[in-house]
């Protein structure tokens, strides 16, 4: 059973209030639910809201969305932003750099 649209809107409004107070995890959870429901546009909006509040998991998820959409440059940019803020999940979970990155930030060549 799905919730009426008004309930989702209210949930997102409450999540935004929580994010304004520093708790952005609910925005990421809502974005993941929207993504699973096939609403990628709304998911991306929610991920950006969380990222704008400093949530690096949202950047990782945005990078994955970009990679899935075939936007490798966008995915790399977002993955690097997440890594620059201490979240290296995108570097290990995505296929952007199968051999990792060198200390100067360039992709490592295969051995």
In the chain, what are the domains? 5-93 (1.25.40.10)
Residue 2 has pLDDT above 60, yes or no: no
User: Could you please report the per-residue DSSP string of 28-79?
Assistant: HHHHHHHHHTT-HHHHHHHHHHHHHTT-HHHHHHHHHHHHHTT-HHHHHHHH
pTM for this structure? 0.76
Q: Per-residue pLDDT tens for 25-78?
A: 888 988 998 999 999 999 999 999 999 989 999 999 999 999 899 998 999 899
> Per-residue pLDDT tens for 69-81?
999 899 989 998 9
pLDDT of residue 1: 37
């Amino acid at each position: 059973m799905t919730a009426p649209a008004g309930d989702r809107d209210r949930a997102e409004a409450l999540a935004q209030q929580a994010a304004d107070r520093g708790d952005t995890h609910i925005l990421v959870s809502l974005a993941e639910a929207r993504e699973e429901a096939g609403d990628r546009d709304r998911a991306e909006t929610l991920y950006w809201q969380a990222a704008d509040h400093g949530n690096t998991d949202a950047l990782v998820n945005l990078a994955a969305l970009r990679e899935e959409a075939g936007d490798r440059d966008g995915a790399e940019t977002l993955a690097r932003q997440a890594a620059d803020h201490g979240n290296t999940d995108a570097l290990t979970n995505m296929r952007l750099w199968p051999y990792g990155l060198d200390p100067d930030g360039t992709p490592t060549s295969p051995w």
